[in-house]
Amino acid sequence: MNVRRLPTEAGNVTGLHTRRSSYHPDYAALARNRVALARSSAGMSPTAFAEALSSLLGRDVKAGHVASWETRTTPPGDVLIAVAALAPTTGARIGVRSHKFIAAHISHETVEQLTSKLGMKQVTGYLGKTPCWTASLADVGDECTLTVWPWGTVIIHLVDDLDVPDVTTLALWRYRSYPENLAWAGDYLGGLIGGTVQAAYVLSLYWVHTVPWVGATLGTGLRLICAPRVLVDRDLTDLAAAQVTGERAEQELLAAGYQPTEMKAFGAPGVSSAWASWSGVVYHAHDPLRALQEGDLVAFEIGLQAIWAYTAYINEQIESDGDLRICPGYGYGFLRAARSLLLTPRPQETGQHQQMREAIVSSSGLPGQLSLSMETLKEAGQ
């Protein structure tokens, strides 16, 4: 695995007093999280952790003390020092595999040209029995696959293995890389078909395999990864200042909690923590043997984004008052079948798969967009 470490520093450090002087971190909550994180990292029960602390501190520490310090009571200073000795946090980072789905549209007449030039293989499975063509692209990210559909939608699946110190670093990398990804995809596809292609959008899915958080803070950290826009100050053009501002906001939210109402949870207790939002999807497996497989999430997103991008293309034609041009055979009837595939439970799918599908589809806004496209196509007799 080619894991890349994003930089921990962005340049000059801006003093915390220079912006938002009303900010006051909840240090008590951060201290409680430090105790909980240390015990989890050490793999100890509250009783075993209490015994270890007793040995270091030279006084009797009970399991009840540990439970209290993790949840409601601010731990004493000597306890925090002893905790740091038991489970040092130096180098504690976030390990994440970033899956970007870059959507673009080419004319359906050029699909054969594209598949021939890349020597693509025809496959099925992303959308029932609907055929599509795939090919791996070399020297792009850690892995990259291009999938093209008969109606002209192209989904580029770009994978990057990352090792980051905090969510802010991941968020800044994400929003800086999006324009680069879109420009590259447009130029690459345009060069293949000999025309102009404008990539439409990028959607991210994060498979998080290593985290520095436990308990409630784990959920907050994962939700920040799912929708990190709250950490990115659009008014700051200086990267160093943006990093400092984002880190400050991140620590405040980790202590206070972050629960956007529009975010949909689809994790299973004791098995996984997972959320879906308009911005993307995040998944963290607690029990890999019982959790969803990474490939299942990726395959579902490729199929969903193929329909999302296609219906967006149709609706853009409606808004521009131009002639409605679609690939023959992929009109109202096809979208009706796709809607059933994406929205209707499968007879043998697990509860986890059903929750995943419902959360991702509903948070994406696809049902309304799909209905509008179907209505238009039906009125146009297509």
Which tokens is 14 given? 């801006």
- Cβ partners under 8 Å of residue 116, min gap 6: none
In this predicted structure, the answer to whether residue 157 has a pLDDT above a threshold of 90 is yes
Of the candidate ranges 7-11, 329-333, 362-366, the one whose mean pLDDT is the lowest: 7-11
Better pLDDT: 22 or 107: 107
CA distances from residue 158 to 137, 140, 190, 248 in whole angstroms, order as listed: 9, 8, 18, 30
* Residue 70 CA neighbour count, 13 Å, CB half: 22
Does one domain contain both 155 and 26?
no
Does one domain contain both 325 and 253?
no
Does one domain contain both 321 and 279?
no
State the residue range of the domain holding 30.
16-86
- Tens of pLDDT, residue by residue over 262-305, are 999 999 998 999 999 998 999 999 888 889 999 999 999 999 99
Does one domain contain both 173 and 319?
no
Nearest CA to 60 among 74, 47, 70, 45? 47
Residues facing residue 4 across a β-bridge: 162
Number of domains in the chain: 3
Length of the chain in terms of residues written: 382
Of the candidate ranges 191-200, 226-235, 251-260, 333-342, the one whose mean pLDDT is the lowest: 226-235
Distance CA 349, CA 360 (A): 16
Residue 85: pLDDT band (50, 70, 90) is: confident
Distance CA 134, CA 122 (A): 7
- Which of 273, 296, 319 corresponds to the end of one domain? 296
Residue 4: pLDDT band (50, 70, 90) is: low
- Tens of pLDDT, residue by residue over 166-181, are 999 999 999 999 999 9
Return the pLDDT at 214.
Answer: 83
Does one domain contain both 230 and 125?
yes
Q: Average pLDDT in the 327-356 region?
A: 91
Does one domain contain both 192 and 54?
no
Does one domain contain both 247 and 316?
no
Return the pLDDT at 22.
Answer: 36
Does one domain contain both 233 and 112?
yes
* Residue 62 CA neighbour count, 13 Å, CB half: 3
In this predicted structure, the answer to whether residue 335 has a pLDDT above a threshold of 90 is yes
Distance CA 150, CA 117 (A): 15
Return the pLDDT at 90.
Answer: 39
Domain membership of residue 218 (yes or no) is yes
Does one domain contain both 77 and 104?
no
